[in-house]
Structure 1
Amino acid sequence: MAGVRLIRSPELAQTVEYAYAAVADVPVRAIWAAGACPLDAGGKTVAVGDIAGQTHQVMRNLVTALESAGATLTDVAKTTVYVASSRQADLVAAWRVYREYMGDHDVPSTLLGVAVLGYPDQLVEVEAVALITGQV
C-alpha cells in the first residue's frame, strides 16, 4: 500500500466501510488532488441526472489526476465525497460506486450532501490526499 497504513480502532464501530485514520511515516511525498468532477475531456458534464454514472466519471478522473502526480488510489490517505443532494439514498448511490474503485483500500473518508456543486448539472465530486512514503 505504498506506505499508507489504515487504522481501525476496536473501541469504535466495526460496521463502517472506512478506516478511522491513516498513517504514513516520513519522509513522505504528499499529493493534494483537487475535487475530481464528472467532466469529459472536452469539459462537459457527463451522465446528467445520474449519480452513479457521474461517480464513475469522477473516479476515473481522480485516478488520472493521481497517476499524473505519480500516485494510485492505494496511495490515498483521505477522501471527501460530495453529493449535491439532501437525500441519503443519493449519497449511498455515490458511495457504492466510490467503494468499487477503492476496493479493500477503505481510507478515512467523509461523505456529505451539499446544496450545489460548481459545474452545470454536477452531482458528485471527490477530493483526495495521497501520500507516498520514502519520497520527498
Structure 2
Amino acid sequence: MARAVTLIRSASLSDVADYAYAATAPADARLVFLAGSCPLNEDGSTAAVGDYAGQAAKAFDNMRTALADAGASLEDVISTRVLVASSQQKDLVTAWDVVRAGFGDHDAPSTLLGVTVLGYHDQLVEIEAVAAVLDA
C-alpha cells in the first residue's frame, strides 16, 4: 500500500534526537486529526494508575485503535504530541521511550511536553496525533 507520509531528516541539526524533524504529505492526502489518546480502559477507568510507562502503552494502544477506526495506521502518522503530567524529565523520558518503541522505524516528528495536569482522574499521559492517508 502506498503511503502519503514522507519523513524528513536534517543533517544540519543535532543528531541527538533519533527521529525525523519534519514530515510531508501530498495535497491529495486525507488528513486525520486525532483527539488526545488517553490511557482509559473500555469501562472508562484510568489504566495503570501511577505508572508512566503503563499509561503510555495504554494510550498508544488506544491511539492505534482510533487510527484504525479512521482508516489509518501507525505508518500514516505525520506528527505526534506526547503530554506527560510531570515536572520530572525522567517521567517524560519514560513515557517517550514507550511511544518511540511503539512506532518502530516510523519515527514521525514529535513534541514531548511536561504539563501540570491532564483531564482524567489519575491520568499521567496523553498522545495527540495527525495522520495522512492516500485513499484508494
Provide the TM-score with structure 1 as the length reference: 0.96
For 2:63 and 2:104, locate their aligned partners in 1 and report how far apart those are by CA, in whole Å.
15
Alignment partner, residue 84 of structure 1? 85
Whichever residue aligns with residue 114 of structure 1, its letter is V
Q: How far apart are 1:106 and its partner, in Å? A: 0.7
Alignment partner, residue 123 of structure 2? 122
1:12 aligns with 2:13: yes
Structure 2, gaps ≥5 residues long: none
Identity of aligned residues (%): 56
Provide the TM-score with structure 2 as the length reference: 0.96
For 1:59 and 1:17, locate their aligned partners in 2 and report how far apart those are by CA, in whole Å.
19
For 1:44 and 1:124, locate their aligned partners in 2 and report how far apart those are by CA, in whole Å.
14
Q: How far apart are 1:26 and its partner, in Å? A: 2.0
For 2:21 and 2:114, locate their aligned partners in 1 and report how far apart those are by CA, in whole Å.
20
Q: C-alpha offsets along residues 48-104 of structure 1, whole Å, 9 cap, x if unaligned?
A: 000000011000000000000000011000100000000000000000100111111
Structure 1, gaps ≥5 residues long: none
How many aligned residue pairs are there?
Answer: 135
Q: Summarize the alignment of residues 1-136 of structure 1 with structure 2, pairs less than 5 Å apart.
A: 2-133=3-134, 135=135
